[in-house]
Amino acid sequence: MPGECGRTDGGGAAGRLAACLVAALVATGVAGCSAVAPRPAPPPSISPSSAPSVPYGSTSLRDLNFTHAPSGFAIPSDTPVIAGVNLKAVITAQFNVSDGPEVLSFLLVHLPGMGYEITGSSDDSVVFQGAVWHGAFTMSATTAMLTLRYEDQ
């Protein structure tokens, strides 16, 4: 159905990711959408001994109680998460608007080292993908939001 969250009229993974970002904004009361996409399979477990380390000056999302976040995915230590969603296949973290530029700069520098390929970016957003997790960060005058989505390949 057109207009359904998780579906687009094209755009592949980036389009699906954009739709999921909109759905995440809905969950935090920023926008509106009525349908929910089917859930993908849960992400694989990573043992602590195989978990990647996080960049210096950062904190992993798992250390911030996002228990379903991909291991080793980090944000700057001095940027508090003010709201979030912690589901097996979708992680969303909302930041203070004033922290948006710092989070964006951090992700642009550190995503490749955390195992993610940057597939698009602009002055206010970045879209990226890993082996099974895809994500986006975007900011505006009213919000700064990170969304990660597990996609079974």
| CB within 8 Å of 106: residues ≥ 6 apart | 55, 58, 75, 76, 79
118: β partners: 128
pTM over 0.85: no
In whole angstroms, how far apart are CA 142 and each of 5, 17, 95? 22, 20, 10
The 10s digit of each residue's pLDDT in 24-71 is: 444 444 443 334 444 455 454 443 334 567 888 999 999 999 999 999
d(CA 53, CA 73): 9
**Which residue bears the tokens 């996002």?**
66
Q: Collapse the DSSP code of 112 into the 3-class scheme (helix H, G, I; strand E, B; otherwise coil) and give the result.
A: helix
